[in-house]
Amino acid sequence: MNHEKILINGAWETDPSEASFTPENPATGEELDRSYPVSSKATLARLASHAANAAKALNHCDPEQIAAFLDNHASNIDSRREEISSLCHRETGLPTKPRLQQVEMDRTVDQLRQAAACARDRSWCQPRIDTKLDLRSVYEPLGGGVLVIGPNNFPLAYNGIAGGDFAAAIAARNPVIAKAHPLHPGTTKMLAECAHDAAKQAGLPAGSVQMFYNCEPEDGLSLIRMPEISAVGFTGSRPAGLSMKQAADETGTPIYLELSSVNPMFLLPGAIEERGEDIADLIADSMLAASGQQCTCPGLLIVRDSHATDHLIGRLRSRLAGAPHQVMLSSGGVRHLHESVQAIEALGADRLIGGAPVEGNAARYEHTLLRTEADHFLANSDEMQNEMFGVAALIIVCDRDEQLIECARSLEGNLTGTLHLASDTRDDELARAVSAVLRNRVGRLIHDAVPTGVSVNAATVHGGPFPATGHPGFTAVGMPTTIHRFAALRCYDRVRGAFLPPELQDTPPTPSMRRMIDGVWRTGIVERA
């Protein structure tokens, strides 16, 4: 069986490695008909070297070229949406319609076009000019390659060569080395073909967009340590992310991690009394989306003990028990979910439903609800808030209001935290007390909704305190803020005008570009008194 080629320095090459892997169809357990190379450290070093050379050229690249590339890439993907979605379905088990062909494909294309608009306008780089002191600062490219490693669960919108991290890094004029996820390498190759064609159309340097499929973990850590790598974007498991962070810290390389999150939901007494069944339905729909394999799925439900709460739990249990078991991303994912569920059960949680793999060749797992009392959770909170990546949640039952606050205080960092309040004011006092604690533990605070469904817009924050991410000051979603992760803030002190970058010269490069001039954000030229 011939291995698929990697994209290196503007060309498709046969990887000399003898090691390879073949992905499986999670719906059948059968191997697919393509083989992919496991790249060696020497190949990774070549990728890094070519990225460093491309970075020098991209430093002086017209942002209009970058915008053209991103727009072309989006159009290329859009024109192949059926073909890409079909293969992606076979590799991941995710539904072709509407999930892949409409929902995720639309998001992927939209992100690229938003990044193109930011590159074209240039306001993302936030130029600041102080005319009195003749000081000027601006966000600029990092000067080296950005390694982007996408996850298994969003094969399009988070893909290393088409997703949000990729779009942000390119918009900042950095070359990208994309690592495919081994669960969907064929999908990534198709997206890389779209990117390669778009790069040629836009006239980008040869090493601007490169892609390999897999490597040994230690070789991947070596790539992160290479001086040609200026930043890393990673979405995936906590153990893998922490090992990458350790490697990046050895060389001072910025690394932006999106790791695990249990996304606690506090269902307050008045809300449960008022609309408990509706809340249960909302949560069930959120848990069932994408087989529970989303980083924003609700994994902890914190409630007050009452008859209304018992009814809500019964409704949620019934909804999950009656829903068909969906195909998960891999048999390995089923195994990991089972281990996570068993670990929390071993700590004393009671199983209400589920808790076992579904028999058969397909990668499926029973929808699972666990329950524990607040006192028991608080005594074991470190272990009991570990992520169960699938349709699984732990219900924490409190016997007094203060325990909801104590539960909030015990939480690690999360991407989201949700409160459901009564429509009148009866829950407001408790909501304020919980929120005061929860606010510093989550990136996105939500009222009366569910955490799944992340809007791609400028106000979105898809981030949070550790271990949800590696830094609470950044977001993985939302142009233009997300671009700043892959840019360097640099200052020009009394530098002559002819030596300034276009964004800092007295006349801006685009009429729409906003700059802070003497403390005021505005468009237009620099006017001196």
- Per-residue pLDDT reduced to its tens digit, 302-324: 999 999 999 999 999 999 999 99
CATH number at residue 309: 3.40.309.10
The reported pLDDT for the residue numbered 2 is 72
Does residue 1 have a pLDDT over 90? Answer: no
Contacts of 209 (CB under 8 A, 6+ apart): 7, 161, 170, 175, 176, 178, 192, 195, 196, 199
- Which of 88, 118, 125, 295 is an active site residue? 295
Q: Number of folded domains in the chain? A: 2
- On whether both 378 and 437 belong to a single domain, the answer is yes
Q: Is the peptide bond before 185 cis (omega within 30 degrees of 0)?
A: no
- On whether both 255 and 301 belong to a single domain, the answer is no
The reported pLDDT for the residue numbered 370 is 99
Task: Encode pLDDT of 112-170 as tens digits.
Answer: 999 999 999 999 999 999 999 999 999 999 999 999 999 999 999 999 999 999 999 99
Task: Encode pLDDT of 244-282 as tens digits.
Answer: 999 999 999 999 999 999 999 999 999 999 999 999 999
- On whether both 479 and 441 belong to a single domain, the answer is no
In the predicted model, what is the mean pLDDT of residues 334-363?
A: 98
- On whether both 232 and 284 belong to a single domain, the answer is no
Provide the residue range defining the domain that includes 207: 47-117+139-259+475-483
In the predicted model, what is the mean pLDDT of residues 434-449?
A: 98
- Which of 4, 24, 193, 258 is an active site residue? 258
Task: Encode pLDDT of 456-491 as tens digits.
Answer: 999 999 999 999 999 999 999 999 999 999 999 999
- The answer to whether residue 522 is domain-embedded is no
Does residue 528 have a pLDDT over 90? Answer: no
Task: Encode pLDDT of 381-421 as tens digits.
Answer: 999 999 999 999 999 999 999 999 999 999 999 999 999 99
- On whether both 253 and 347 belong to a single domain, the answer is no
The reported pLDDT for the residue numbered 459 is 93
Does residue 292 have a pLDDT over 80? Answer: yes
Query: Is there a catalytic annotation at residue 258?
Result: yes
Query: Is there a catalytic annotation at residue 118?
Result: no
Per-position b or e across 235-261, b if 16+ CB within 10 A of its CB: bbbbeebebbbebbeeeebbbbbbbbb
Chain CA centroid to CA 431, Å: 29
DSSP 464: -
Q: Are strands 176-179 and 145-149 parallel, antiparallel or unpaired?
A: parallel
